[in-house]
């Protein structure tokens, strides 16, 4: 049966709209759980593309064939094929408004046609193009107006129930609902998706969205709500999502949700410790407790979990959490003060305590020095000459070179302090 479409299409000159029906059937079968149809879907896309490019202009005088070319482009087909057909459309078989919207959308300029597609959706309602245009309208509108986008997604899924259009619209509706904090709506869409498309190859995206919904809005989302959404799923899938919720809740420090989700995952898997108790709830509760005030209790809970009952990923999480908790409990260590040879000590080389960073505000003596730094008096100039004479010529690398460097650095630092004080208004 899988080979039949290829044989039939190669032996006959099928109309594009008939070929498109087979493509839609395959795409709907994929999201309903028949993943073996994926290869056939790719074959159909390639075959339809070749058929459209080889068709004469008279073929598209049939409105169903013209619509098929547009739907093909919106169903994962090659956008360049649509441009190829439109460039040769001398009879006006393609609606230029729809073509303009699609070309802008495929080029990543959808916001430029947001108003145009909003006007097209009601006009094409109850036509073959309607659900596809509504889905694209929602995608374009979502970044600027998530509430309006929800309306487009609803129209798309209601216009094509049980199809890949509904599957995509439901996933996007969950995102849009969370974007406008419509938690109840997001839960409603999640329940619909779980009942209809749990075996879709895109269900992992749904799982990510649902975990985010539960963890971010736990409280509004109850334990019963989570159970209702996951109820249609098989045991392995439910366990996987419960574990993902537990891990995400752990990282957010939500001990209650982490414990409840881990317990449910353990119940589904039957993985128990030697005492007949679930293993993972203690692990996730302990990890979540590390950021709380009861760090000692968190270490005890983590230590009580046996490595033998954990996956490699959970063992790594436990190890990291214990290391953080132990560091929190360590007493603070005061580093030894930095010591340096004070140039002012002269030949004695006496060590003095050096501050780790310069003081932000100068002392009164430094402020007085700053006030005369810009224009040194003759006596100051003489003193500087005396310092240079006593320390030796800096260019010759004399023994007094450190003293000169110290004086220059100090004067530079005082100048910076002067500028800071002027900015703060402390110096008139």
pLDDT one-digit tens code per residue, 165-190: 999 999 999 999 999 999 999 999 99
| Whole-number pLDDT of residue 224 | 94
**Whole-number Å distance between alpha carbons of 13 and 24:** 19
| Whole-number pLDDT of residue 274 | 46
**Whole-number Å distance between alpha carbons of 159 and 8:** 30
| Whole-number pLDDT of residue 323 | 72
Q: Where are the alpha helices (DSSP H) in 62-113?
A: 63-74, 79-87, 96-106
| Whole-number pLDDT of residue 44 | 93
**Whole-number Å distance between alpha carbons of 1 and 364:** 95
Are the C-beta atoms of residues 197 and 32 closer than 8 Å to each other? yes
Domain edges within the chain: 4-235, 236-333, 353-424
What is the SS3 assignment for 221? Answer: strand
Does domain 4-235 bear CATH number 1.10.1670? Answer: no
Model pTM greater than 0.75?
Answer: no
The DSSP bridge pattern shows strands 339-341 and 351-353 to be antiparallel
Q: CA Rg, the chain, in Å? A: 36
| Whole-number pLDDT of residue 174 | 97
pLDDT digits (tens, 9 = 90+) for 9-52: 554 578 999 999 999 999 999 999 888 887 888 899 999 999 99
**Whole-number Å distance between alpha carbons of 262 and 285:** 9
| Whole-number pLDDT of residue 390 | 44
| Whole-number pLDDT of residue 305 | 62
| Whole-number pLDDT of residue 236 | 87
CA distances from 31 to 77, 168, 187, 344, 388 (A): 17, 9, 20, 81, 86
| Whole-number pLDDT of residue 399 | 46
What is the SS3 assignment for 340? Answer: strand
341 pairs with which residues across the strands?
351
- Residue 99, phi then psi, degrees to nearest 5: -60, -45
Tell which residue, 355, 351, 350, 349, has the closest CA to residue 337. Answer: 355
The H or E element that residue 10 is part of is helix 4-11
221 pairs with which residues across the strands?
218
Query: In this structure, what token pair is assigned to residue 193?
Result: 């998706």
**Can you state the percent helix, strand and coil of the chain, rounding each to 5?**
70, 0, 30
Buried b vs exposed e over 220-249: b needs ≥16 C-beta within 10 Å?
Answer: ebeeebbeebbeebeeebbbbbbbbbbbbb
Please identify every stretch of the chain with a pLDDT value under 50, giving residue numbers as ranges: 1-4, 7, 11, 272-274, 276, 342-399, 426-428
The DSSP secondary structure of 301-339, one letter per residue, reads HHHTS-GGGS-HHHHHHHHHHHHHHHHHHSPP-PPPPPE
């Amino acid at each position: 049966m899988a080979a039949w479409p290829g044989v039939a299409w190669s032996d006959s000159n099928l109309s594009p709209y008939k070929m498109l029906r087979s493509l839609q059937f395959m795409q709907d079968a994929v999201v309903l759980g028949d993943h073996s149809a994926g290869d056939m879907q790719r074959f159909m896309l390639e075959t339809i593309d070749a058929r459209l490019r080889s068709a004469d202009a008279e073929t598209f005088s049939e409105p169903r064939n013209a619509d098929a070319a547009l739907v093909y482009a919106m169903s994962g087909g090659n956008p360049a094929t649509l441009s190829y057909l439109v460039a040769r459309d001398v009879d006006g078989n393609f609606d230029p408004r729809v073509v303009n919207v699609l070309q802008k959308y495929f080029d990543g300029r959808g916001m430029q046609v947001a108003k145009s597609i909003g006007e097209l959706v009601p006009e094409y309602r109850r036509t073959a193009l309607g659900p596809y245009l509504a889905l694209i309208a929602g995608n374009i509108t979502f970044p600027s107006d998530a509430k309006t986008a929800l309306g487009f997604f609803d129209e798309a899924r209601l216009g094509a129930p049980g199809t890949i259009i509904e599957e995509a619209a439901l996933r996007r509706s969950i995102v849009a609902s969370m974007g406008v904090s419509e938690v109840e709506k997001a839960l409603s869409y999640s329940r619909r998706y779980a009942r209809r498309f749990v075996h879709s190859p895109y269900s992992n995206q749904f799982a990510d969205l649902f975990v985010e919904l539960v963890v971010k809005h736990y409280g509004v989302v109850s334990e019963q709500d989570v159970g209702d959404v996951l109820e249609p799923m098989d045991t392995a899938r439910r366990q996987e999502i419960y574990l993902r919720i537990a891990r995400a809740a752990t990282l957010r420090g939500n001990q209650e949700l982490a414990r409840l989700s881990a317990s449910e995952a353990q119940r589904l898997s039957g993985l128990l410790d030697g005492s007949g108790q679930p293993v993972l709830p203690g692990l996730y509760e302990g990890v979540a407790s590390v950021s709380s005030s009861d760090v000692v209790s968190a270490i005890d809970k983590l230590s009580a979990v046996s490595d033998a009952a954990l996956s490699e990923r959970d063992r790594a999480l436990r190890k990291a959490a214990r290391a953080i908790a132990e560091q929190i409990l360590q007493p603070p260590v005061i580093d030894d003060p930095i010591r340096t040879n004070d140039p002012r000590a002269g030949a004695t080389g006496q060590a003095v305590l050096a501050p780790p960073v310069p003081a932000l505000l100068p002392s009164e003596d430094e402020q007085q020095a700053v006030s005369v730094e810009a224009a040194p008096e003759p006596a100051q100039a003489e003193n500087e000459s005396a310092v240079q004479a006593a320390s030796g010529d800096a260019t010759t690398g004399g023994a007094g070179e450190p003293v000169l460097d110290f004086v220059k650095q100090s004067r530079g630092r005082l100048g910076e302090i002067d500028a800071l004080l002027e900015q703060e208004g402390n110096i008139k």
